Amino acid sequence: MTAQLPARKPARPFFSSGPCAKPPGYAPEKLATESLGRSHRAKIGKTRLQYCIDLMREVLGLPDTHRIGIVPGSDTGAFEMAMWTMLGARGVTCLAWESFGEGWVTDAVKQLKLEPKVHRADYGQLPDLSKVDFADDVLFTWNGTTSGVRVPDGEWIPDDREGLTFADATSAVFAYDIPWDKIDVATFSWQKVLGGEGGHGVLILGPRAVERLEEYTPSWPLPKVFRLVSKGKLTEGVFKGETINTPSMLAVEDAIFALEWAKSVGGLEGLKARCTANADALNKIVAHRDWLGHLAVDHGIRSKTSVCLTVEGADEAFIKAMASALEKEGAAYDIAGYRDAPPGLRIWCGATVETADIEDLGPWLDWAYATVKAAA
């Protein structure tokens, strides 16, 4: 017997965990276009890049002690830029509980030939944060996009740390309070909580990171797009809109639209509230279904953005069939879990998603589960 289709679909079925849903009300024709076709080094280009940086600072509540730069290669490029330019001055500790954290371990070991201490945990869990040695530089992911696990807060990071903290914060910024006094390096991309376009990363440097850059030269060669220092001093222009390589001004205008939208919904507090409402709505869906569960069982470390769900008895083929059925009906796009994660669903609950669409998703998950189970 075929399961009955639900009566109502999510109005915006965009639940991908990156690139994520565009801000509500978005349309390409709403973007400012004066900078398009112009040099990014012309006055208009530099002005718009600086405006984008200023908006990020304002919405994040970032203190003046921290610099913001727009760099190539999305979050991955930004984080690797930080690793290549600053690691090697002291010991390194890596935390890995999902695929991207594991990728930083691979870079540290195989590419930079370092011998980091590694604290690992399975998908859905965190390593023991109390065992981290902050005499080392410490690399971690604030919100594990592929595991649905986040660090609970910044209390585990000491104020008197000797090493630098490197936070891959791409699914966390604009969704949580980030204690910037605890973070020396942070990276993210516009394509997550802001719903911006890919290809560009954002690098945030605290004063201790700047000091490292100016006092330490790594032993390995640096490609041009990673170089942040000239004649022993930080290249300040990078943090004033003078990008290392040519940016897409269309992507910059897209990010500006998203940041102005963020201000219109209450800034950081408004964005956080939207994420919480979405995650709470999904929690209710899970709580009312025996066949659904959270990969991150501990609510205190569960992501409010990239929420990863377990499906009773499902293997990879079952999940693909569910996701395909939902996409075919236009009810949900791109909700299969990450390829390296345990088989399950991953539903983006970031601020650009509407809570009503999360609520309308519940019956469609029932339909897809019953449909695929009946066909098995």
In terms of Cα–Cα distance, which of 190, 332, 350 is closest to 276? 350
Query: Per residue, what are the HEC states of the chain?
Result: CCCCCCCCCCCCCECCCCCCCCCCCCCHHHCCCCCCCCCCCCHHHHHHHHHHHHHHHHHHCCCCCCEEEEEECHHHHHHHHHHHHHCCCCCEEEEECCHHHHHHHHHHHHHCCCCCEEEECCCCCCCCHHHCCCCCEEEEECEECCCCEECCCCCCCCCCCCCCEEEECCCCCCCCCCCHHHCCEEEEECCCCCCCCCCEEEEEECHHHHHHHHHCCCCCCCCHHHCCEECCEECHHHHHCCCCCCCCHHHHHHHHHHHHHHHHCCHHHHHHHHHHHHHHHHHHHHHCCCCEEECCCCHHHECCCEEEEEECCCCHHHHHHHHHHHHHCCCCECCECCCCCCCCEEEECCCCCCHHHHHHHHHHHHHHHHHHHHHC
- CA–CA dist 315, 372 (Å, integer): 12
Quote the pTM value.
0.97
- CA–CA dist 99, 96 (Å, integer): 8
> What does the block give as tokens for 351?
């601020």
Place of tokens 């605290």: 206
Cis before 19 (ω within 30) = yes
Question: 187-207 as b/e, with b when 16 or more CB fall inside 10 Å?
Answer: bbbbbbbbbbbbebbbbbbbe
pLDDT of res. 2: 65
Domains of the chain, first to last = 28-263 (3.40.640.10), 266-375 (3.90.1150.10)
pLDDT of res. 99: 92
Give the largest Cα separation in the chain, rounded.
73
pLDDT of res. 53: 98
pLDDT of res. 303: 98
pLDDT of res. 376: 82
pLDDT of res. 159: 97
By the 8 A CB rule, do 115 and 69 touch?
Answer: no
Task: Divide the 376 residues of the chain into consecutive groups of 10 and give the mean pLDDT of each group.
Answer: 86 97 98 95 95 98 97 97 98 96 96 97 97 98 97 98 98 98 98 97 98 97 94 94 94 98 98 98 98 98 98 97 98 96 97 98 98 92
End-to-end CA distance of the chain: 13
pLDDT of res. 1: 52
In terms of Cα–Cα distance, which of 310, 324, 352, 250 is closest to 21? 352
pLDDT of res. 194: 98
